[in-house]
């Protein structure tokens, strides 16, 4: 009989939420007690102090983390977040979700995540470079192409991944592109990686609309978050023929029932950095955006925005979780009871990013590069397979779609752990 561990290290609402999701899924598939805790809790973590010399000559020490949740099924894999509200508990929850996501997509990876407590918009470019390099310097013995492979997440991008790869390469004495994915193409990045997460979200939306027999030409979309995932989701859905009626970022949202020109919005954000004062529609708040009448609501910003306070008021037909953990467990219950909204759960919906990260890693290890068409074709094959297996699991056990996805992801990790023995 195993005794449950009580972890205080990761204590936070978002970690508790990921743990409750795990417990529910483990109960649903009768996961044996002896395998539960070692499948559930992160394997190890590293917290680092990161002194950075500011442009004015002063020194600021930032705090950074890396949590490796699972290393049993391959190297750990996961993004690095730069955000002022990062906590080690949030990073641990995101690492857990990476484990289930990679497992569900059938990728030979465990799950990990990293983060630095910093608002990157408050740093100059030089300071940002110093911080990114210092983080990788501290992580050199913890990361590696066959141990743990990093990637971008909120607040990080291609350029930062390039600096991190270069720092690692300087340490080991030769170029090692496979330690980080989401790099610039000139440093071994993959064709299609930048748009992969949003393209995947849009692809799933298209497939579920087909199932519901809703034509793309009659589809309206509200997207929360206009960073990498949100903007690429909006671009891809607009290219499919859908009308994007609302977008937002942390400064607020824009609403236009006639449709927003997403390319124009992107050009504006590139110049102004934020959506505020973009003249493509009426200003709305993020809360109003979530409750708009639309066919598809795509939360693509941060965790826990669909809650028990607004789940009953949503007026969409599909929720496409571009973000990780946007829906609380209490909101899930309300949505399940309502039964009128198809929810495409995060660990499936936004998995296009890690799938193309996997392709990038493969290309780096083989020094053999693929065309964009090849990348996208292979991506859609994997996404179709994930959807099919989730729909089968959902029907077979009468699970919600989230429970179907979680039980598949968790079940496969537990099976591999049991097969390997106690140490991994
Ligand atoms: P990003 O930093 O590029 O963009 C984040 C966007 O969210 C920005 O527009 C920001 O202004 C907005 N935002 C922040 N706080 C907000 C708030 N309170 N209300 C509304 N908008 C807010 O980050 P990203 O890479 O697009 O990641 C977004 C989400 O997608 C995260 O949950 C991330 O974990 C998830 N995700 C990212 C990837 C990837 O490849 N980048 C892959 C899978 C999942």
Kindly report the protein residue whose alpha carbon is nearest to atom 13 of ligand 1: 250
Query: Ligand 1: distance of its center to the CA of 33 in Å?
Result: 36
Ligand 1, CB cutoff 6 Å, lining residues: 152-155, 197, 224-230, 248-250, 286, 300-302, 322-324, 350, 353
Query: Ligand 1: distance of its center to the CA of 225 in Å?
Result: 6
Q: Counting atoms of ligand 1 from 1, which one is nearest the CA of 196?
A: 40
Out of 227, 274, 298, mutate this one to test ligand 1's pocket (max ligand atoms within 8 Å of CB): namely 227
Phi, psi of 55 (to 5 degrees): -60, -25
- Report pLDDT for 423: 74
Dist. CA 176–CA 161, nearest whole Å: 12
- Report pLDDT for 6: 61
1-34 as b/e: b if 16+ CB within 10 A: eeeeeeeeebeeebbebbbebbebbbebbebeee
Kindly report the protein residue whose alpha carbon is nearest to atom 15 of ligand 1: 250
- Report pLDDT for 4: 57
Q: Catalytic residue, from 40, 77, 101, 113: name it.
A: 113
- Catalytic, 113? Answer yes
Query: Ligand 1: distance of its center to the CA of 230 in Å?
Result: 7
Kindly report the protein residue whose alpha carbon is nearest to atom 41 of ligand 1: 153
**Residues carrying CATH 3.40.50.720, the chain:** 194-344
Kindly report the protein residue whose alpha carbon is nearest to atom 32 of ligand 1: 323
Contacts of 198 (CB under 8 A, 6+ apart): 228, 229, 230, 231, 232, 233, 234, 235, 236, 300, 322, 352
CB 242 within 8 A of CB 312: no
Q: Give the global pTM.
A: 0.97
Q: Counting atoms of ligand 1 from 1, which one is nearest the CA of 350?
A: 43
Q: Counting atoms of ligand 1 from 1, which one is nearest the CA of 226?
A: 9
Widest Cα–Cα separation across the chain = 63
Contacts 24+ apart (CB under 8 A), 21-24: 21/329, 21/402, 21/406, 22/96, 22/406, 22/410, 24/403, 24/406
Q: What is the pLDDT along the chain (424 residues), one digit of tens a residue?
A: 445 566 789 999 999 999 999 999 999 999 999 999 999 999 999 999 999 999 999 999 999 999 999 999 999 999 999 999 999 999 999 999 999 999 999 999 999 999 999 999 999 999 999 999 999 999 999 999 999 999 999 999 999 999 999 999 999 999 999 999 999 999 999 999 999 999 999 999 999 999 999 999 999 999 999 999 999 999 999 999 999 999 999 999 999 999 999 999 999 999 999 999 999 999 999 999 999 999 999 999 999 999 999 999 999 999 999 999 999 999 999 999 999 999 999 999 999 999 999 999 999 999 999 999 999 999 999 999 999 999 999 999 999 999 999 999 999 999 999 999 887 6
Out of 254, 301, 322, mutate this one to test ligand 1's pocket (max ligand atoms within 8 Å of CB): namely 301
Q: Counting atoms of ligand 1 from 1, which one is nearest the CA of 251?
A: 11
**Residues carrying CATH 3.40.50.10860, the chain:** 13-177
Kindly report the protein residue whose alpha carbon is nearest to atom 37 of ligand 1: 153
If you classify domain 13-177 with CATH, what class do you get?
alpha beta
Query: Ligand 1: distance of its center to the CA of 174 in Å?
Result: 33
Query: Ligand 1: distance of its center to the CA of 300 in Å?
Result: 6
Dist. CA 27–CA 36, nearest whole Å: 10
Q: Counting atoms of ligand 1 from 1, which one is nearest the CA of 302?
A: 32
Query: Ligand 1: distance of its center to the CA of 249 in Å?
Result: 9
**CATH value of 194-344 in 3.10.105.10, 3.40.50.720, 3.30.540.10, 3.80.10.10:** 3.40.50.720
Through-space distance between the first and last CA atoms of the chain, rounded to whole angstroms: 19
Q: Counting atoms of ligand 1 from 1, which one is nearest the CA of 94?
A: 34
Would you state the structure tokens that stand for residue 272, as one six-digit string?
A: 């102004």
Query: Ligand 1: distance of its center to the CA of 154 in Å?
Result: 5
- Report pLDDT for 308: 98
- Report pLDDT for 1: 45
CB 298 within 8 A of CB 230: yes
């Amino acid at each position: 009989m195993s005794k449950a561990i009580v972890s205080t290290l990761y204590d936070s609402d978002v970690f508790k939420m990921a743990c409750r999701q795990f417990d529910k899924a483990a109960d649903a598939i009768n996961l044996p007690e002896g395998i539960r805790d070692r499948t559930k809790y992160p394997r190890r973590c590293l917290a680092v102090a990161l002194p950075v010399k500011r442009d004015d000559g002063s020194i600021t020490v930032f705090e950074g983390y890396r949590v490796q949740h699972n290393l049993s099924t391959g190297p750990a894999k996961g993004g690095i977040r730069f955000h002022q509200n990062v906590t080690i508990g949030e990073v641990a929850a995101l690492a857990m979700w990476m484990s289930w996501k990679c497992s569900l997509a059938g990728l030979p990876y465990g799950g990990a995540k990293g983060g630095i407590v910093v608002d990157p918009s408050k740093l100059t470019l030089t300071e940002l470079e110093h911080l990114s390099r210092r983080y990788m310097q501290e992580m050199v013995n913890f990361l590696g192409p066959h141990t743990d492979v990093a990637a971008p997440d909120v607040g990080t991008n291609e350029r930062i991944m390039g600096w991190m790869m270069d720092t690692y390469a300087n340490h080991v004495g030769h170029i090692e592109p496979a330690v980080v994915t989401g790099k610039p193409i000139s440093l071994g990045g993959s064709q299609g990686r930048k748009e992969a997460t949003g393209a995947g979200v849009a692809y799933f939306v298209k497939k579920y609309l087909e199932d519901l027999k809703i034509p793309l030409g009659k589809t309206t979309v509200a997207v929360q978050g206009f960073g990498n995932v949100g903007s690429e989701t909006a671009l891809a859905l607009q290219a499919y023929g859908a009308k994007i009626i609302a977008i937002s970022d942390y400064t607020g949202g824009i609403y236009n029932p006639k449709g927003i020109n997403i390319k124009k919005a992107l050009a504006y954000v590139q110049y102004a950095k934020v959506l505020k004062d973009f003249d493509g529609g009426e200003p709305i708040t993020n809360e109003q955006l979530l409750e708009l009448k639309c066919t598809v609501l795509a939360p693509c910003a941060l965790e826990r925005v669909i809650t028990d306070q607004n789940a009953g008021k949503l007026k969409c037909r599909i929720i496409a979780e571009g973000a990780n953990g946007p829906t609380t467990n209490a909101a899930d219950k309300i949505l399940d009871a309502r039964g009128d909204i198809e929810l495409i759960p995060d660990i499936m919906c936004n998995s296009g990013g890690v799938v193309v990260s996997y392709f990038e890693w493969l290309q780096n290890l083989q020094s053999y590069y693929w065309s964009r068409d090849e990348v996208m074709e292979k991506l859609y094959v994997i996404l179709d397979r994930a959807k099919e297996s989730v729909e089968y699991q959902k029907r077979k056990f009468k699970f919600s779609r989230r429970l179907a996805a979680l039980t598949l992801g968790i079940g496969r990790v537990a099976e591999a752990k049991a097969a390997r023995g106690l140490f991994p």
